[in-house]
Structure 1
Amino acid sequence: MASLSTRVPRMLAAAWARPQARLAAYLALSLALAWVSFIHPARGLNITPWNPQTALAVGMLLWHPRSWWLVWLATLSGEALVPERPLGGAALFGSTALLVAGYVATAAALRRWARPGSEPVTRRLLLRFFVIAGGGALLASTLQVAGLYWTGEVAADRVLTAIHRSAIGDGAALVVTLPLLLLLGSRERRAATRAMFRNPEWWAAVLVTAVAVIAVFSRPAEEQFRYFYVLFLPVVWCASRHGITGAVWSTAVLQLAVIAAVQAAEYQPLTVFQLQVLVAVLAVTSLLLGATVDEREEAARTLRASLRLAAAGDMAAGLAHELNQPLTAMSTYAHASQVLAEQIRQGDRSQAELMLDITAKLAEEAHRAADVVRRLRDFFRDRATDLKPTSLAQLLEEAHRDQIARAVGLDLQLSWHCEPADAVAWVDPLQVGVVLRNLLANAMDAASAAGRGGNLPAWVAVEAKQEDADMVIAVTDSGPGLHGEDLALVFERRRSDKPGGMGIGLAISRSIVEAHGGRLWAEPGPGGRFLFTLPLESPVADA
């Protein structure tokens, strides 16, 4: 059997789902707000400096545009039940009808241009909301006072003053209270509110708000406005920590605290209107700050998602780039094996040893491809490097051996030198091998292209030498080198000039070198020259 704690919310939700219940609740809440907010009315008029029922009316029209008749009935009842002095029938019906017409126009403009309840809340959206709320408050106040003037309830010399006072009360309500109603109508914002209420920091901010209000309003009346800026502290705190949700709630709490202080101190109406203007300005500041925080967080989430996609793209491109060479070799060895197998099938047993050697190389290239996939996957996923003391001379010799057949085919000289010969660096051998292969392949392409049809031989040289605690590896070629804009943009990911190239080899190489604590750069020609550094000492030992 369901407990009372679960049955009661279900019963309330079921009741709220009925239109009649929603309408009755709105009518009751509107009348209650009209009664509670009827403080310090302007002399001879029912115009007060705090009109939260205005925000409730506009919110009702936003959610239910056809409920204008209910809004008019609630407004009419509020004006009739809690006036400073009774209005005549024509004045009461006419002014409230014109006032509700202003509410309808405001709600329509918000629905058209401000998209209430949209996510995320941006500064552009808020600025439109402020403009429409201010314009709507002025329009509604003008229509209401015009109705009172036409029925003789307001003298001509008091029309502008009445419009001014009414617009301040309605505008403050729309800027401060309407965002809270819109927040409560958003499932996402309600969830954010629950999370914020579970945070002790929020309740600390509420306490700071109470202390700030007491500190300001306990001073003599002539000094209070001079210290009003103290009230910015808690709302700025909440907006910066909780975004638009914190801004809306902290502003609402501050509004209630100011109204309570006004009631306790029994201020004159003019002073209360000025306070409402300051509260409205504070609300605008807080909401804009909250929207800025939300936009920043949304931008950070978008950036993180983009980086994940970029990392996945880099990983895929890097794997494709690095697997191209071993797969090509495997294809060549497989084709050679087929040829030899056919010769052996025809009885030529002399090729058996050669076939065994080729199949061994085929297995070696397959193993190498698997290592490339594993190590580059780990690198692109979390920049993982398996550092171990590695002989640089051995790395250079392996890179030279891998490229020597291609160098012969391109008719260029390929050499390497390491000083000291026994230099040991803390590196991931496979990843540094990727860097060396990329740099050698690029250098060989450049030297070969420049050497075609020329008298001078094409060459590529790899030289490693120690400088302090690093080894500097330089890959130099006899090509034309890099100059100007090409030198500045050489590490940018772009379309490769080489047939079948992907334009990412240097970008991957730089990432790998930087993950090792080194750097990779290019120097201007003549001749191409790329250099990178590797640490000789273990970074773990240094730590």
Structure 2
Amino acid sequence: MSGVPFHSPEPASEHGLPPLRTAMLFFALYMAFAWISFVHPMRGLNITPWNPQAALAVALLFVKAGAWPVVWMAGACAEAIIGTERLPPAAVIVSTAAMTAGSATIAAGLRRWLGSDFPVIARQSALVFLALAAGGALLAAFLRAGALWAVGVVPFERIPAVVHRAAIGDGVGLVVTLPVLLALASAKLRSLTHSMLRTPECWVIASVTVAAVVSVFHQAPQDQFKYFYVLFVPVVWASTRFGAIGAIWAAALVQALLIAALQFGHYLPLTVFEFQLLVAAFTCTGVLLGAIVDEKQAAEEALRKSLRLAAAGDMAAALAHELNQPLTAMGTYARASQVLARRLGPHDETARGMLEIADKLALEAARAGDMVNRLRRFFRERATDLQVTPLTDLLREAMRSQSARARALRVQLSGTEGDPLPSVLVDPVQISVVLRNLLANAIEAASDPRRPPDAPRWVRLQAHRQGTEVVVTLLDSGEGLTPEQARDIFDAPASSKPGGMGIGLAISRAIVEAHAGRLWAEPGAGGRFHFTIPFDTGAVHDE
């Protein structure tokens, strides 16, 4: 599971308010988080050692920059309803305004420096996130302390203590809770989480975490800090085994258990803040270690992919060398057959049949030779012969090339189009290789002999515009893919097909990416493969 890049939903740049449903859900979660985390507030103020609602606010503002009025209202209601210290209305207004400003600043920093790749696995991005969380929490704490001082709630000499406690509460909430929230919001991270939860080792780590927390808090209060380092063990274990996603959930579990222990125990507020500093320390350690593990795994997978593509290039070169001569001979024999057929005269039915067959043979021999040579050049030189090509023609030709095979296997092959498709700047031979490979795989999946005889057998080729890209989709009635298969199928070490070499999809992805597109598979019932081809709206025309 390690090594799979983290991607969250694309952050929105619009500045309007979120939909009412989203705002109501946010408000309810914010109030719930504020109530759960209201443990040992700072005397005279509603500043607690752990503020997960700060992470919730940043998450909403990261996705919807204009949601700050909703965040401010939720903060004000939490202060007024849940807080035990009844602050003056002016203090509530300025305090929550300062917290909202701090959250908006952190969200803007995340969008600016990490963008849609947050949360991420790279060490540099992990460091940027931790720096933004720490710096943003400190900024929000200064703003809050300054606002409370301005309305006369906090004396000047108490500002450092307020900044210290507020920065710890917000910082721990951001570092521990924000990655969890975005992991839940991302389909890919949810898939990684489900995969992790299905492994026995995950539950062993969770059990060790519970045992570690119990062992620490079973000690006398004065000795608990001495044994707190034991909690590093499950977090480090989860990080090295599952990467950053393991570190995120292990730290969240420790935090939840710690809050429960502190809630039911008798601890001074200062002790709670000290415990939270230790939570922040091992969370940062786990995230950085997980990022290193994931980065290493990603580098290893990229190396394996490169070696596999290099092997495919060598194979293409060898095949081109071996096939050029027989393909040339086939073309020569086909042209000779054409000459002989024409000599028999135009009225001879046998001659007309021979001429038609010879024409097709010559065309297919030339096409095969061109395809092999283009693939050899692509793998050796990454060469693409770009031409403005009607995409509809490529789709129709790919379907024509596979129609006989589909009929032989009793698979219904169909194609649909949305809006009129534009011409695209591509290497038509290479894109044809991608289409034929995907169609051939879909036909094999739909006609798998292991399926019931009465199971549906169909393959659909679809294409539509999406922004400045054309999205081509292959659907089939086969068994489909699990999330793990959808993730690994393009880098599989070997094909599951008898006699297959397991490089067809890897080659297809390399070709699509060379055209600045993307190729991916969706898990679920039935096969679902998609790839995109960008087009320049100023350079191409609609068909």
* Same fold per superposition (TM over 0.5): yes
Structure 2: how far apart are the matches of 1:310 and 1:83? Answer: 63
Give 1:297's aligned amino acid: Q
Q: Deviations over 1:152-193 (max 9, x none)?
A: 111111111100100000001100100101111211110011
Q: Deviations over 1:421-459 (max 9, x none)?
A: xxxxxxxxxxxxxxxxxxxxxxxxxxxxxxxxxxxxxxx
1:176 aligned partner = 176
Q: Deviations over 1:380-421 (max 9, x none)?
A: xxxxxxxxxxxxxxxxxxxxxxxxxxxxxxxxxxxxxxxxxx
Q: Deviations over 1:458-515 (max 9, x none)?
A: xxxxxxxxxxxxxxxxxxxxxxxxxxxxxxxxxxxxxxxxxxxxxxxxxxxxxxxxxx
2:98 aligned partner = 98
The 1:237/1:136 distance shift into structure 2, 3 A limit, reads same
Kept in 2, the 8 Å contact 1:39–1:49? The answer is yes
Structure 1: how far apart are the matches of 2:292 and 2:81? Answer: 43
Kept in 2, the 8 Å contact 1:116–1:182? The answer is no
Q: Secondary structure at the match of 1:66?
A: coil
Q: How do 1:110-149 and structure 2 match up within 5 A? A: 110-115=110-115, 117-118=117-118, 121-149=121-149
Q: Deviations over 1:89-124 (max 9, x none)?
A: 111111211221111111101111122544752111
Q: Deviations over 1:39-81 (max 9, x none)?
A: 1111111111011101011111111111100000000001111
Q: Secondary structure at the match of 2:46?
A: coil
Structure 1: how far apart are the matches of 2:78 and 2:22? Answer: 18
1:293 aligned partner = 293
Q: How do 1:54-65 and structure 2 match up within 5 A? A: 54-65=54-65
Give 1:174's aligned amino acid: L
Structure 2: how far apart are the matches of 1:130 and 1:294? Answer: 17
Kept in 1, the 8 Å contact 2:110–2:118? The answer is no
Structure 1: how far apart are the matches of 2:56 and 2:125? Answer: 20
Looking at secondary structure, tell me which structure has more helix per residue.
Answer: 1
Aligned-pair CA distance for 1:323: 5.5
Aligned-pair CA distance for 1:289: 1.4
Structure 2: how far apart are the matches of 1:165 and 1:258? Answer: 18
Kept in 1, the 8 Å contact 2:137–2:167? The answer is yes
Kept in 1, the 8 Å contact 2:120–2:126? The answer is no
Q: Deviations over 1:12-53 (max 9, x none)?
A: xxxxxx922221111011011111111111111111101110
Give 1:121's aligned amino acid: I
Aligned-pair CA distance for 1:319: 5.6
2:262 aligned partner = 262
Structure 2: how far apart are the matches of 1:116 and 1:220? Answer: 46
Aligned-pair CA distance for 1:317: 4.0
Structure 1: how far apart are the matches of 2:159 and 2:126? Answer: 31
Aligned-pair CA distance for 1:246: 1.0
Structure 2: how far apart are the matches of 1:95 and 1:19? Answer: 26
Q: Deviations over 1:123-176 (max 9, x none)?
A: 111100011111110111111111110111111111111001000000011001
1:197 aligned partner = 197
Q: How many residues are aligned here?
A: 313
Kept in 2, the 8 Å contact 1:117–1:185? The answer is no
The 1:308/1:119 distance shift into structure 2, 3 A limit, reads farther
The 1:120/1:298 distance shift into structure 2, 3 A limit, reads farther
Give 2:23's aligned amino acid: L
Structure 2: how far apart are the matches of 1:220 and 1:152? Answer: 41
The 1:182/1:119 distance shift into structure 2, 3 A limit, reads closer
1:281 aligns with 2:281: yes
Q: How do 1:24-43 and structure 2 match up within 5 A? A: 24-43=24-43
The 1:101/1:119 distance shift into structure 2, 3 A limit, reads closer
Q: How do 1:184-333 and structure 2 match up within 5 A? A: 184-318=184-318
2:74 aligned partner = 74
Kept in 2, the 8 Å contact 1:62–1:111? The answer is yes
Q: Secondary structure at the match of 2:66?
A: helix
Structure-2-length-normalised TM-score: 0.55
Q: Deviations over 1:190-228 (max 9, x none)?
A: 001111111222111111101000001110112111111
Identity in percent: 48
Rg: which structure is higher? 1
Give 1:206's aligned amino acid: A
1:490 aligned partner = none
Structure 1: how far apart are the matches of 2:310 and 2:127? Answer: 34
Structure 1: how far apart are the matches of 2:68 and 2:114? Answer: 20
Structure 1: how far apart are the matches of 2:115 and 2:125? Answer: 8
Q: Deviations over 1:326-357 (max 9, x none)?
A: 979x99xx9xxxxxxxxxxxxxxxxxxxxxxx
1:470 aligned partner = none
1:452 aligned partner = none
Kept in 1, the 8 Å contact 2:217–2:261? The answer is yes
1:163 aligned partner = 163
Aligned-pair CA distance for 1:318: 4.7
Give me the CA root mean square deviation.
2.3
The 1:132/1:327 distance shift into structure 2, 3 A limit, reads same
Kept in 1, the 8 Å contact 2:119–2:179? The answer is no
Q: How do 1:301-450 and structure 2 match up within 5 A? A: 301-318=301-318
Kept in 2, the 8 Å contact 1:120–1:295? The answer is no
Give 2:185's aligned amino acid: G
**Structure 2 segments unaligned to the other structure (5+ residues):** 1-17, 333-543
The 1:54/1:120 distance shift into structure 2, 3 A limit, reads closer
Structure 2: how far apart are the matches of 1:27 and 1:241? Answer: 36
Structure 2: how far apart are the matches of 1:289 and 1:36? Answer: 29
Aligned-pair CA distance for 1:244: 1.4
Give 2:307's aligned amino acid: L
Give 1:245's aligned amino acid: I
Structure 2: how far apart are the matches of 1:218 and 1:25? Answer: 38
Structure 1: how far apart are the matches of 2:100 and 2:122? Answer: 29
Structure 1: how far apart are the matches of 2:119 and 2:132? Answer: 19
Structure 2: how far apart are the matches of 1:141 and 1:116? Answer: 27
Q: Secondary structure at the match of 1:50?
A: coil
Aligned-pair CA distance for 1:255: 0.4
Structure 1: how far apart are the matches of 2:143 and 2:325? Answer: 80
Structure 2: how far apart are the matches of 1:300 and 1:85? Answer: 54
Structure 2: how far apart are the matches of 1:166 and 1:297? Answer: 37
The range that moved more, 114-123 or 288-297, is 114-123
Structure 1: how far apart are the matches of 2:185 and 2:211? Answer: 30
Kept in 1, the 8 Å contact 2:119–2:182? The answer is no
Structure 2: how far apart are the matches of 1:199 and 1:125? Answer: 28
Give 2:254's aligned amino acid: L
Kept in 1, the 8 Å contact 2:48–2:165? The answer is yes
The 1:272/1:178 distance shift into structure 2, 3 A limit, reads same
Kept in 2, the 8 Å contact 1:117–1:183? The answer is no
Q: How do 1:462-501 and structure 2 match up within 5 A? A: none
Kept in 2, the 8 Å contact 1:114–1:126? The answer is no
Structure 2: how far apart are the matches of 1:116 and 1:179? Answer: 13
Structure 2: how far apart are the matches of 1:128 and 1:304? Answer: 29
Q: Secondary structure at the match of 1:177?
A: helix
